[in-house]
Structure formats: structure tokens, C-alpha cells
Amino acid sequence: MLFLIPLYALGCNIKDVNKESKIITSDKGSNNSPVLDQNIINNTDTNNISNNSGIEEEKKIEIYKKGDKGDNIKTIQQKLNKFGYDLYCDGEFGEKTYYAVIDFQNRNRIMADGAVGDETLKKLELEPTSKTMYVKPSIDENAVPVSNMKSSLENFFNSKNFNSNTDYYIWVDINNQRVNIFAGYNKSWKLIKSVQCASGKESTPTVKGYFAVQGKGNMFRVDKNTICKYYTQFYGNYLFHSVLLDNNGNIKAGTLGTRLSHGCVRLSIQDAKYIYDYIPIGTAVWIN
């Protein structure tokens, strides 16, 4: 059974992952503002207009966004923590709260815009489920090759100033074709997972630089009989995702450890699912 890609995650179907998305706009209505009939205005008996017409005023819905402060923000932070987010409840809508909101919205299949309005507030009142609860990833000792390599990678990573808006950081090492996942904070990162990947080939290289996890989805279609599962977006149409599968979920092209993709970072099914399940939106990504 195939699943449709949620529109709020990327906003488009992905056909060729290294092509730019096109946004179609319309100028209809730009110069068609309604004109009031002055005769109607002049002939209106304002004395017959009642302030109590029986039509209730639409209740103004408060929307909380990044930069806001106060007790209401503190309450939102406390409710987010009920869903597994480890926020400091200081009443300030900062970066970490913003990305926790986006991750929460994404898990609840609502518009992931980082602002807390009526729909998000209603979802925060619900009890957590296996789908809406954020669960921190555990340290996967088997995914880190050898202890001395772990120490070497941590020493290298902590020699730099690497900050993330979450408690995690992803480093894609193109030369060694590995995805390294760290937990912690600047100068105190611990390697929790290191796995093989397949980055973009020479003609369609994976973009390099500093990015952040932006959106996620269960699957997308490449062609009539090819899909990729568990995608995590980090820049435009550049994604982490599974190796190529057929419509029944069988592996069609499972090679890892070499540069062969159209620009995305391919992973085994279980490793793609690990990032999809556990690494929250807003997590910093460094590709070099």
C-alpha cells in the first residue's frame, strides 16, 4: 500500500531530487478591489443599524510565535514537554521552542509553520500517542564502528563550534560516505550513531554546507515502480531517504558506500527510519 506525501512536508511531489522546485503564482484579483456604491452609502439609515444584530462577532484567535514571551508561552512549553520535548520552561518563544513546535505539528499532520494557533493548541490538549510522542534516540553502540574511531570523531567534532537548535547534530562525511549522528551540545557532542550512506554522484553532487532538518515524510515516488521511504528534508529537494525500492518494498538498488545518487543521501531502510523517527526538525546538518 502506498502513501501520499503530506503536502505540508515539502509542498510538491519529488520526481528528480536535485531539481529546483517551481512555485506557480497568480496575479488574479490584484486590481479587482470592490468599489462601494456611494448611493447605497448615502441612503443608508444609520439609525436603523443595531449594535445587537444577533450575529456574534468572530472570536479572535490568539497566535503565538517566535519572539513572544509570557505565561502563555510557558504553558505551551510545559504541554510540549508532555509529548517528550525537553524544553526549558522560561516563557520565551525561542529557537528551541520554535523547532519543537514544528516537529510537533509535523507529527500531528497539521500545518508545520512554527506558530501556535487554535489547531496546534487543540492538539496540545490531547494525550500523547505512539505517533505524536517524541522519543529520544538511544545510543546505538553497534552503529559506531570501533571505540577508537568514536573517540577520534568526537574529538574532531568538539574541536569546532557546532551549535544546533535541538540536542542533536548530523554530520555527513562525503569522503568516507558516512552519516554521523551526535547528541549533546557545543563542545560536548557524543557520537550515538555512524552509518554508511550513498551521496550524490559527480554529475549530481550532494550540496555541501550547513543546513537543518526541515520536513519529513513516509515515502515519495521516483517513477512508476520505484519509491523511497522515510525521507527527511534538509535543503530544498535534498533529502535523507532509503535506498530505492519497488512498489512492494523490495530493494531495487541498495548499494551504499559510494557516490551514486541524484544528490540526496541514501541510507539503509532502518537507518533512514531512524532519522525519520528520532531526529527532530531543526536539527543542524553539516555536509562536507
Mean pLDDT for 147-169 is 91
Q: What is the mean pLDDT of the chain?
A: 83
pLDDT over 90 (residue 92): yes
- C-alpha cell read off for 110: 497539521
pLDDT digits (tens, 9 = 90+) for 29-40: 333 333 333 333
Question: Which domains does the chain show, CATH number per domain?
Answer: 68-125 (1.10.101.10), 147-287 (2.40.440.10)
In sign, the C-alpha dihedral spanning 123, 128, 129, 135 is positive
pLDDT digits (tens, 9 = 90+) for 268-288: 999 999 999 999 999 999 999
Percentage of the chain beyond pLDDT 90 is 73
pLDDT digits (tens, 9 = 90+) for 105-117: 999 999 999 999 9
pTM for the whole structure: 0.73
Question: What's the confidence (pLDDT) of residue 16?
Answer: 42
The set of long-range contacts for 270-274, using a CB threshold of 8 Å and a minimum separation of 24, is 271/179, 271/193, 271/195, 271/197, 272/229, 272/230, 272/231, 272/232, 272/240, 272/241, 272/242, 273/229, 273/230, 273/242, 274/137, 274/140, 274/193
Q: Scanning the structure block, which residue is given the C-alpha cell 550532494? A: 206
Q: Three-state DSSP class for 231?
A: strand
Question: What's the confidence (pLDDT) of residue 268?
Answer: 97
Alpha-carbon distance of 141 to 245, in angstroms, equals 28
Alpha-carbon distance of 96 to 283, in angstroms, equals 10
pLDDT digits (tens, 9 = 90+) for 42-80: 444 444 434 444 444 555 678 999 999 999 999 999 999
Question: What's the confidence (pLDDT) of residue 41?
Answer: 34
